[in-house]
A and B are shown apart, each in its own frame.
Chain A
Amino acid sequence: MIVELGHYALVLALAIAFIGTVLPLWGVKTHDAALMRMAPSASLVLFGLVALSYVALTKAYLDSDFSVLNVIENSHSAKPLMYRISGVWSNHEGSMLLWVLILALFSGLLAWFGRGMPQRLFAAVLAVQSSIAAAFILFLLAASNPFTRVTPAPMEGRGLNPLLQDPGLAIHPPLLYVGYVGCSVAFSFAIGALITGRIDAAWARFVRPWTLIAWCFLTLGIAMGSYWAYYELGWGGWWFWDPVENASLMPWLVATALIHSTVVMEKRDSLKVWTVLLSILTFSLSLVGTFLVRSGVLTSVHAFAVDPERGLFILGILIVFIGGSLTLFAWRAPLLKQGGIFAPVSREGALVLNNLFLAAATAAVFIGTLYPLALEALTGAKISVGAPFFDATFLPLMLPLAFILPFGQALAWKRGDLLGVAQRLATALGLSVVITMIVYAATWGGPVLAPLGIGLGFWLIFGSIADIMMRAKGNGVAFTVAIKRAVGLPLSIWGSTLAHMGVGVSMIGVACTAWGIEKIVEMKPGETVQVGRFDVKLEGAGLRNGPDYRENFARFIVIDGDRVVGALEPGKRVFTGRTMPTSEAALLTRGLGQVYASVGDVNPQGQIAARLYWKPWVLFIWIGAVIMALGGFFSVLDRRARIAAAVRARLPRVVAAE
């Protein structure tokens, strides 16, 4: 019954989404305020219905209702509670429902918080949001219905894919989806601007917080996915340039460009058309990502062989939205009022460079990801484009960007003084060069590029600190005054500083992987292997039972000098209802580095195959990402205050005087 209720709510949501698209748009066209006012109500109702539908599916999972096909395929009565809740999005149908739920949530939030916006833009934006929701709800109902029933119902489900049986499942997909789907808001704003034909600095102020929120979640989602792959797959790597990863990286890169270009638009009323294009591209790439992951067109270490019908359906949605929006852009963008052209040496000039590099890097990733697909479709030849391609294209575009970043951050708007900025950044630059030299000297004969990466990372961190210090200190004021001023700086300044420092921290972490140590060995109990500065001793192996799995595990102890610093228990698990084992890597964190172990089979001589790694400073990679996201959230908070101020300023004076 509840399942049918959920199904019905979803059908109703489709109708509401359709109404919420057509009527407000008609209102925008005919300047009918009553029709336009329907948009927020429709969005709120839509959210309610989709939420109801989602809760119904979750309830089916909680009750282990094995008359629902989706629950049979992905659940098991022995499954712990956490995986029943997160199991909902562990599969194609459920994750698409989550996608729609988040979309509806964003529409609802927009309907609630966007009331101060110009009415026509507001109605158009919500209508575009509803049209996206309509397309995806239609996709759910027509091609991937999570509420399909089965008779007779089996006694037991097939269980969750063991690789997904991990806390990462509870965190990674929702974060990533909030990021992906959050990009839809900027898209809707862009289409709204094209429809209404008006765009100004205020538009940028409305778009920016939403894009920032999406960007923060995308950052965290990608980082979480990377960490999950790192410890779950047992290969010791943290980024594989896999198409599925690239699918999330591309929207992130464009979104990064977008949050920078909206600043230019807000402050200098320029780069308007470009910003609109970026908004369209960000969400388009999110859709491409959804298509790549959900359609099974690309080969990947993530195995995706889904129904071709679904792939075609998503491709259809893709063509309508991307093709439609770009056509609209080509038609309407020339009507938008252009801003002025500005001096090359200025903050806005530097931000244009940032956008150029990010766009070029996105293009490189895009080509590397989709070229094999195009080639196979055209000639039948099968190729794979892997890490070497991306190392040779992506990195050379990112490193110069990192180098110019602190300069750009310190330049003034309108007319910057590059020489003056260079003088003020001299200490930061000098320190970074010294650090690079020291690292080179200390690791002479080791990796060549890695010390340079570390130097660049420190340059970003010191450059950001120097920027804050310059803003706080001004012309040599007292220390206490400087501190007070630093604390009083707008949150957005702290936000961008933090985010840039985060990039530096991640960069240092990535560079340090060059000094990682990998040992592939076969060991008998009692044997010891040296991994970096640690001795790893195999104590023994055994068999144990978990709630819904059996695990062959090995126990290693890690010795640093002559002191035991911890134990590692990697294993291979076989889950109930599945036949294949999965590896469980074990991690021991020492400082910011990790000792990493995964085990394979036991050979006829009784030796256990093992992979042992020492990964110095590896945690910096993800800590940096968290700092970036934190910086983004700081900026969001600041913007909200700013919008409120703008609204207050419009109120009559009498109110302000009270």
Chain B
Amino acid sequence: MTRKGRRLAMIGAVAVVLGIAASLVLFAMRDSIVFFYGPTEITQKNIAPGTRFRVGGLVENGSVVKSAGQNVSFSVTDGNQTVKVAYRGQLPDLFREGQGVVAEGVLTAPGQFKADSVLAKHDENYMPKEVADTLKKQGHWQEGQKGEAKK
């Protein structure tokens, strides 16, 4: 193979692999990205039922109902709006009323959310960053709630 041919082969291989990688990334970006909304944003943005996203806020006091078969329902609030979340399975250790929570799932009807995962956090003082931002936006954040946790 000539020197020119070798160079072309090299450039071709680079172009093909990078092209594949770029298209895979773009394709996956379209399909597998999950947005995060606070309860108020859900109403504001008129999110259609069936959309997959993450919702975060505080677990409303007195809203946690546990029923048979590990079914749990609770309300997530940012102080202005609430969303009812239904979940089946074991809740994370650090799940408590009045504490921050992030749930991922699908909006089934306006104000109704079916979660397939509820996120655990590593430390009791920790407030998920999105939740803190949501609360700040709605004016229900007190400074000094900042937690600290490390790996």
Contact = CB atoms under 8 A, between A and B. Distances in A.
A binds B: yes
Interface of A: 90-92, 95, 161, 163-164, 173, 233, 235, 244, 293, 296, 299, 301-306, 341-344, 352-353, 356-357, 360-361, 363-364, 367-368, 371, 381-386, 388-389, 391-393, 396-397, 520, 522, 572, 578-583, 598, 600-601, 603-605, 609, 611
Given A301-B120, A304-B150, A360-B17, A386 B36 contact: no
Contacts of A579: 124
B70 A520 contact: yes
Contacts, number: 152
Interface of B: 1, 3, 6-7, 9-10, 13-14, 17-18, 20-21, 24-25, 27-29, 31-37, 54, 66, 68-70, 88-91, 93-94, 104, 119-124, 126-130, 133, 146-151
Given A356-B13, A381-B35, A383-B33, A603 B66 contact: yes
Contacts of A580: 93-94, 124
Contacts of B89: 520
Residue in A303, A383, A386, A582 with the greatest tally of chain B CB atoms within 10 Å: A303
A296 B54 contact: no
Contacts of B88: 520
B25 A578 contact: no
A609 B94 CA distance: 16
Contacts of B36: 382-384
Residue in B13, B14, B93, B128 with the greatest tally of chain A CB atoms within 10 Å: B93
26 contacts: A91-B150, A163-B123, A173-B151, A299-B129, A301-B120, A302-B149, A303-B128, A303-B147, A305-B147, A344-B1, A344-B9, A344-B10, A357-B17, A363-B21, A368-B25, A368-B28, A382-B37, A385-B32, A388-B31, A391-B32, A397-B20, A397-B21, A397-B24, A520-B90, A601-B91, A609-B70
A305 B127 contact: yes
B113 to A, nearest CB: 16
Contacts of B93: 572, 580-583
Contacts of A343: 1, 6
Contacts of B27: 392
Given A92-B150, A303-B121, A578-B124, A600 B91 contact: yes
A609 B124 CA distance: 22
Nearest to A344: B9
Contact of A393 (B10, B25, B148): B25
Given A304-B150, A383-B33, A603-B66, 16 more contacts: A90-B150, A163-B123, A299-B130, A305-B146, A343-B1, A384-B34, A384-B36, A389-B29, A392-B32, A393-B21, A396-B20, A520-B88, A522-B69, A580-B93, A604-B66, A609-B90
Contacts of B14: 356
A233 B34 CA distance: 23
Given A303-B126, A305-B126, A609-B90, A360 B6 contact: no
A353 B16 CA distance: 11
A383 B28 CA distance: 14
A353 B90 CA distance: 45
Given A305-B129, A382-B35, A388-B28, A611 B150 contact: no
Given A305-B126, A306-B150, A343-B6, A384 B28 contact: no
B17 A356 contact: yes
A605 B66 CA distance: 11
